[in-house]
Structure 1
Amino acid sequence: MKKKILFIMPSLQAGGAEKCLVNLLNEFDYNNYDVDLLLLNKTGIFLKLLPQQVKIITLQDDFAIFSKNILSSFFSFLLKGKFSLAYSRIAFTYKNRSIKNSGFAEQYSWKDLKKAIPTIDNNYDVAIGFLEKTSIYLTVDKVVAKQKIGFVNNDYKMLNLDSKFDEPYFSKLDYLFTVSESCEEVLRDSFPSLTSKIKMMYNILSEKAIQNLANEKNDELDKGINLVTLGRLSHQKGFDIAIKSCAILKQKGIDFKWYILGEGEDRKALEQLIIENDVAGNFILLGIKENPYPYINNATIYVQPSRFEGKSLAIDEAKILHKPILVSNFPSAKDQITHLESGIIVPLDAESIAVGIENLIEDSELRAKLVSNLKMHHYGTESEINKLYQLIDN
């Protein structure tokens, strides 16, 4: 008999964790497993990339009302006589608006949100919260399953969460996965009592699929020197620093374009920074692209100026496409890049990033060396899924 697996995810909006989940589900063995996917919001560009064997589940009734705007939700609950839920909806909004740390806000407002979520009891063998915070809390509090697994897709310390809030949730999981060696070490340091539960599994990447998609025609990039970066428009990804680096390069008279593929909450602030630094013609926010691989494939250099990462999917994709890569020295950078062998690592400041880019642009021999080194290795990680199977089948 097939085992029943439930994955939990907020949505499938463009993002590294979302793409990782879609990659994982496209490699899944549907001869041995039935897979459901619970989405809090059935949205995102990756929906169409899900394999047809995956059944999408959404929450209705009270959760659907809770998800409306605050006034509509509040009065709908009042009309139904659900005064506790009306109060929880007000509390949820207050916490998310008043708590400046967005991670804390999501943690502390969970007790209000969960009141609108029914218990999910569909005889699941395994429930997997594929993202830190709400996905894991829902897995623990609201799903009935024989085995429960959580995923932390980032450097836990850099997420700036309340570990005292998370520890009782993590302790109720059978296993807690993360995505790189350094992230695994951080989790073990943060939760020493849970060491035996903490596992590491690299993000699933298919070299063949990425290379095929990369060959699609793309005429949007300039014919000259192109820098490309993928990432959500958020503080984590360091685009504010990148804009200042861009201005430095422009002032030096270097002719280039820097294309950003992604969307996010910082767009307006970044657009203002672009204007203030006079780089509108050089630093270009392209938004979300369903197929980003032709952009990476046509890049002169792939740049990742992040403040922190778990294990950057975009960096691994650039490695598969044999691009010269420059990354900032975020804590887990050395898990993915060996300096001057598979890319270059520079300090996380505007001047250092600009100097590193300038050196790569001018040093064609170094670029050729990096490309040659990347071509010597296999970066597909399809076999990583066996780590999950081994735990599910025990």
Structure 2
Amino acid sequence: MEKRNLLFVIPSLSAGGGEKSLVNLLSQIDFTQYDVDLFMLNHDGLFMDFIPTDVRVLPLPETYQLFSKNITKAVKELLMKGKLSLAYNRVIFTLKNKYKKNVSTREQYTWRHLEKSLGRLEKNYDVAIGFLEKTSTYFCVDKVNAAKKIGWVHIDYDKLGMDPKFDIRYFQRLNNIVTVSEECANIFKNRFPSEKNKVEIVYNIVSPTMIHKMAVQDSRDLYNKNNNEIIILSIGRLHFQKGFELAIEACKILVDKGYNIKWNIIGEGEERKKLESIIKLNKLEDHFNLLGLKANPYPYLKQADIYAQTSRFEGKSIAIDEAKILNKPIIVTNFSTAKDQITNGIDGVIAEMNSNSVAEHIEKLIQDEGLRKKLINNLSQLKLGTEGEINKLYGIFSGLDI
């Protein structure tokens, strides 16, 4: 049987749940049946080393390499090469990025300038997958020849502030739209009723075997834990979506009550300076740490006492699934898809989306040993691997009913 040609598109593998989800998915692909290409706009990133060797990373076009330099160099070099139109689009791209406040609409409205630097891929694919919202999907639709095109929505669509009028033109040209949870699917169908018959649900692929193996790769005391110190861990991009200022405020409440806690965040992002200033303002330098990115976060997760997710919105959080696999007491805020992942009081606790409620639920986890043991015991009995989700995807590739 002849192999099928697949293309996955993602801006980068720098960090993030969607990026980790793609790496996990690629590790499960049957390469005896599929030839897999990967197109990215940035070849640096935390997860680059995790790309399977069977995956071919496509080179970046020279025009895009010029376009993506800083504005002065880009315009100068494009003009020297006689690419006047592209130099003009580089200037407009910069201006729109500067003056559009919402990050999501900025990415939408700058696409028509960015895409001028990207030629159409020459190869014909059986299936092309835009693995994240916005640019990945736009590239898949505008720049790829494929018999079947799939878009992937990892989030609660309504929460990022995207312009649905911009996206509908792209969703109409896709064969399928994959979401990562029932709630995400319902939100998407309500927003785009004309496209609801295209929607499929494929859960993020997580492998307990891999996570347990990686969790014991570093046995050092990663937190320099003091006697009776309670270690709380959160994982996520330093972004408004993750609500980390709620975590800092909750930490302050607990410290003021006399709790000996150290709250750590693994992740990086545009809110680092803002969060550092809030930490300093609250004199929490000894209690709240921004650890940056970690290629292997699992030893940190294994050594934590509590996992906390203070998000304003999520699709389906991979970090929560990973904390479940390592049997951590989990607290999450009541974002729209929280109940897709946590049954309150059974495999975690759900707080309201404010710092007082978060602090109150953490305090309960600290004080109530019986509750902690109950959560840990319940988690230890769950079957949490989702490697089988790859079969759903094969079905979508083939056009079968799932």
Task: State the TM-score, normalized to the length of structure 2.
Answer: 0.97
CA contact (8 A) 1:329 1:347 kept: yes
CA contact (8 A) 2:241 2:312 kept: yes
Aligned partner of 1:78 in structure 2 is 79
2:114 corresponds to 1:127:
no
Deviation, structure 1 residue 218: 3.3
2:378 corresponds to 1:373:
yes
Q: Which amino acid aligns with 1:295?
A: Y
Deviation, structure 1 residue 83: 1.1
**Equivalent-residue separation in structure 1 for 2:396 and 2:307 (angstroms):** 36
Residue number among 322, 343, 346 corresponding to 1:341 in the alignment: 346
2:322 corresponds to 1:317:
yes
Q: Which amino acid aligns with 2:134?
A: K
CA contact (8 A) 1:40 1:58 kept: no
Aligned partner of 1:94 in structure 2 is 95
Aligned partner of 2:157 in structure 1 is 156
Aligned partner of 2:13 in structure 1 is 12
Post-superposition Cα deviations, 1:340-365, rounded to whole Å, max 9, x if no partner, equal 00100000101110111111001110
CA contact (8 A) 2:239 2:271 kept: yes
Residue number among 261, 265, 278 corresponding to 1:260 in the alignment: 265
**Equivalent-residue separation in structure 2 for 1:218 and 1:107 (angstroms):** 44
2:331 corresponds to 1:326:
yes
**Equivalent-residue separation in structure 2 for 1:259 and 1:15 (angstroms):** 17
Post-superposition Cα deviations, 1:368-388, rounded to whole Å, max 9, x if no partner, equal 000011111111000011111
**Equivalent-residue separation in structure 2 for 1:299 and 1:218 (angstroms):** 13
**Equivalent-residue separation in structure 2 for 1:340 and 1:76 (angstroms):** 60
Aligned residue pairs, count: 394
Residue number among 237, 240, 245 corresponding to 2:245 in the alignment: 240
CA RMSD of aligned residues (A): 0.8
Q: Secondary structure of the residue that 2:393 maps to in structure 1?
A: helix
Aligned partner of 1:352 in structure 2 is 357
CA contact (8 A) 1:26 1:51 kept: yes
5+ residue gaps in structure 1?
Answer: none
CA contact (8 A) 2:61 2:119 kept: no
Q: Secondary structure of the residue that 1:37 maps to in structure 2?
A: strand
**Equivalent-residue separation in structure 2 for 1:14 and 1:135 (angstroms):** 16
Post-superposition Cα deviations, 1:170-227, rounded to whole Å, max 9, x if no partner, equal 0100000010110000000000000111111100011111111112213212253110
**Equivalent-residue separation in structure 1 for 2:282 and 2:59 (angstroms):** 44
Q: Secondary structure of the residue that 1:382 maps to in structure 2?
A: coil
**Equivalent-residue separation in structure 2 for 1:336 and 1:293 (angstroms):** 19
Aligned partner of 1:31 in structure 2 is 32
Alignment of 1:104-183 (within 5 A): 104-183=105-184
Structure 1 runs of 4+ off > 3 angstroms?
none
Deviation, structure 1 residue 14: 1.2
CA contact (8 A) 2:6 2:37 kept: yes
**Equivalent-residue separation in structure 1 for 2:50 and 2:113 (angstroms):** 32
Q: Which amino acid aligns with 1:52?
A: T
Q: Which amino acid aligns with 2:277?
A: Q
CA contact (8 A) 1:66 1:73 kept: yes
Aligned partner of 1:212 in structure 2 is 213
CA contact (8 A) 1:42 1:58 kept: no
* Mean CA deviation greater in 54-63 or 184-193: 54-63
Q: Secondary structure of the residue that 2:58 maps to in structure 1?
A: strand
**Equivalent-residue separation in structure 2 for 1:7 and 1:46 (angstroms):** 15
CA contact (8 A) 2:64 2:117 kept: yes
**Equivalent-residue separation in structure 1 for 2:193 and 2:394 (angstroms):** 25
CA contact (8 A) 1:218 1:295 kept: no
Q: Secondary structure of the residue that 1:151 maps to in structure 2?
A: strand
5+ residue gaps in structure 2?
Answer: none
2:26 corresponds to 1:51:
no
Residue number among 220, 235, 240 corresponding to 1:230 in the alignment: 235
Q: Secondary structure of the residue that 2:122 maps to in structure 1?
A: strand
Deviation, structure 1 residue 58: 2.8
Q: Secondary structure of the residue that 1:233 maps to in structure 2?
A: coil
Residue number among 367, 391, 395 corresponding to 1:386 in the alignment: 391
**Equivalent-residue separation in structure 1 for 2:25 and 2:32 (angstroms):** 15
**Equivalent-residue separation in structure 2 for 1:313 and 1:121 (angstroms):** 34
Deviation, structure 1 residue 393: 2.1
